[in-house]
Amino acid sequence: MQKYINEILLRINEEMELRGIDENVNTEDALYMIDVIRPLFEKLREMTIAYEFQSEQEEIHFFKEIKPDILGRYIFFHKVVRIEMKRPIGSDDVQREYLHSQLNSLKYFFDQNLDFYQYYRSRATHLDTYYFVRSLVSHKK
């Protein structure tokens, strides 16, 4: 599985580099990256369902570090497309208001998930089993 994870990350990074994608992403590039990442992530998802992690630490590492990295890129590109596709045509004030409303929506999401967000960003580990292990029952011995 680690080999496939490395291939996914390499492919995503190569595609982003080839297209010159950085923090300024246009809709065309975002759509392209969605098409690149979606099938890779779906295959990873299928592999994960069938895969039996060798240890709790391996499972935590996958769900805490690997999956969020890949899924986060997909979500980012998807959000760029959604925001840009809904962006109104109009004055700078109309567009600014729209972008502020989108920013407020993102802020609301993070505020609603603040406990988890702070846990994750602080690199804490005391709740890793609770948050990142699929089945607590199978890991109790």
How far is residue 57's CA from residue 55's CA, in Å, rounded to a whole number?
5
Please give the chain's pLDDT, 141 residues, in tens: 889 999 999 999 999 999 999 878 999 999 999 999 999 999 999 999 999 999 999 999 999 999 999 999 999 999 999 999 999 999 999 999 999 999 999 999 999 999 999 999 999 999 999 999 997 554 444
Residue 38 makes CB contacts below 8 A (sequence gap 6+) with: 74
3-state DSSP helix/strand/coil % of the chain, to nearest 5: 80, 0, 20
Let me know the angle formed at the C-alpha of 39 by 54 and 77, rounded to the nearest 5 degrees: 105
Model confidence, pTM: 0.86
